[in-house]
Chain A
């Protein structure tokens, strides 16, 4: 027999109680989620800042047992890897975004590319590392900074393509028509009118991709490999900040743990500052058109 449709007083009371319970649960889960997240930041700042010193930025790692040493070579190595990655990922990513937004609107091909980019974004980075290992490291017969940079660069492409596309779609059609009406060739109009109008957003997208690969460790494990020495040769194994943090975190030495915390703090600060800085500069229009 179906229940009567009339609302009874007890029913009403129950509903109010459930409502309050649900509200409490939502607030409680928010607090529960924020707690470990704040703890991560607090530990990073606390442990990292207390371990940072001048030597960290100027010295290479010391052998086991010796106090001191730093990660200067890892910072440099990360810089080189990210430069290679950006040189490869940024132009290809932006060009891909231009194709989807400007030439492929409503075409099945463009939709497929967009979808593939989204899916590629979720491919585990370690798989990318294996692919680059068999593609570059095996034929060359040695690990190299180049292989690491290419692995990171490939990971940047889908992110940049998608954000560039989204930003270009926000540019009104009238802007393009005005340019064409003045007799500007289409390619020129795309590059110096449409892309330029969208450049703050495009740059932000590039920085997000950059920040994401800056902390990647897995694809570097068997491409760049890591190194304890100064190296700027792109054909040789090279140190990277995330790799060094990984090695030191798993080591049994307190001194190395200390350096790992310091490295983690430096990595986070580099990522956050570079993103914030470029956002700020791009927002002020100084970099407009620089992409």
Chain B
């Protein structure tokens, strides 16, 4: 433990404490005894203590925010939690006029559009990461990496704007007729060709989560030691075999983490999805049919929600979204840390 972390105290006590700590922690650079002494005496000890307390309060505000969101959401959705219980998540009726609420169509829409996005984005993202870490010439790598970073800065609403005016006309004209013709028999790509719908939401989501998945995958792949690659190559492997056995196999947990992190983004994405998914609370078999997602029903109907029950239903959807994304993100972080830091979670 670092001596700076200690609150200054009487010199004798500090010495005993420090002796214990220096022996127990080997990884940190050993704190100098002089520094501990200097910290423990002098007129500044009160100011130091106040300062560290103030910093602690600010750091604790992060816990406070999470708690605050949770408390606000739970108290805001009391009405529907009491009235519908778990059946709220399994009912498919969404009838604000008669006060009957079921969130299933929204859950379905969120899950299906996110899974579609992952199906499209994951192979491409891993391909890009492989190209950038293992094959790309240096001059191109810098440019491509910068470009992908830049994409993370594009606001969701701009993606939505682009999707409405560029992507959807293209899909309506070329992609959807093709899908209906070749795969229409399956029922998954059938029905009227609006352009907007579940598939459009999946495609725009995949474009949005690609940068984060590929940059994290790249990070994880670069963390694999070079000796691994050289060892596999020395056994006569081709480059692809080297990547598959030496890199991907070692980095797989981290890549799964990156994918789950992308899933977390996709689940909570609001504006772009709202603009292209079609906003119809129905569970349709066809991916070309309009749907609705949890985040977009909140975005669309929250300010129109007239009575308390309606509002409470929307807040409960928000609560469900919060809990799901928190769990998904926590899982992803643990997985990414497991690879990049060498140990599952850095303990005490």
Contacts and interface: CB of A to CB of B under 8 A. Distances in A.
A43 B147 contact: no
B270 interface: yes
A23 B66 contact: no
Given A106-B25, A222-B303, A211 B4 contact: no
B75 interface: yes
Given A98-B55, A268-B158, A177 B35 contact: yes
Nearest to B322: A127
Interface stretch (B44-52, B82-90, B91-99): B44-52
A103 B4 contact: yes
A10 interface: no
Nearest to A93: B58
Interface in B23-53: 25, 28-29, 32, 34-35, 38-39, 42, 44, 47-48, 50-52
Interface in A104-142: 104-108, 110-113, 115-128, 130-131, 133-135
A59 to B, nearest CB: 21
Which of A33, A158, A185 has the most B CB atoms < 10 Å from its CB? A33
A134 B315 CA distance: 9
A218 B275 CA distance: 12
Contacts of A30: 127-128, 131-132, 144
Nearest to B50: A187
Nearest to A15: B238
Interface in B91-141: 123-125, 127-128, 130-132, 134-135
A245 interface: yes
A37 B61 CA distance: 37
Contact of B66 (A29, A111, A116): A116
A112 B271 CA distance: 31
A34 B29 CA distance: 45
A25 interface: yes
A287 to B, nearest CB: 21
Contacts of B151: 37, 40
A176 B346 CA distance: 24
B164 interface: yes
A126 B162 contact: no
A125 B270 contact: yes
A257 interface: yes
B335 to A, nearest CB: 12
Nearest to A91: B58
B175 to A, nearest CB: 13
B2 A260 contact: no
A89 B283 CA distance: 41
State which size class the interface on B falls in. 35 or more
Contacts of B264: 122
A173 interface: yes
B157 A242 contact: yes
Contacts of A161: 59, 62
A172 B275 CA distance: 49
A40 B158 CA distance: 9
Contact of B329 (A91, A118, A177): A118
Contact of A16 (B38, B238, B267, B298): B238
A163 B165 CA distance: 36
Interface residues of B, dominant DSSP? helix
Contacts of A28: 127
A19 B241 CA distance: 7
B157 A111 contact: no
Nearest to B261: A122
Interface string A27-62: 111101110110110011001000000000000000
Contact of B127 (A29, A44, A242): A29
B63 A113 contact: yes
B166 interface: yes
Contact of A130 (B34, B48, B54, B76): B76
Interface in B257-308: 261, 264-265, 267-271, 275, 295, 298-299, 302-303
Contacts of A133: 302
A92 B55 contact: no
Nearest to B324: A124
A216 B155 CA distance: 6
Contacts of A116: 62-63, 66
A111 B348 contact: yes
Interface of B: 1-2, 4-5, 8, 25, 28-29, 32, 34-35, 38-39, 42, 44, 47-48, 50-52, 54-63, 65-66, 68-69, 72-73, 75-76, 123-125, 127-128, 130-132, 134-135, 144, 147-148, 150-151, 153-162, 164-167, 207, 210, 214, 238-241, 243, 261, 264-265, 267-271, 275, 295, 298-299, 302-303, 314-315, 318, 321-322, 325-326, 328-330, 332-333, 345-348
Given A108-B347, A217-B156, 8 more contacts: A29-B124, A96-B62, A105-B4, A106-B1, A111-B347, A122-B326, A124-B269, A268-B155
6 contacts: A95-B54, A123-B329, A180-B39, A181-B34, A186-B48, A264-B158
Nearest 7 pairs between A and B by C-beta? A215-B155, A124-B268, A29-B127, A185-B44, A95-B58, A187-B51, A122-B329
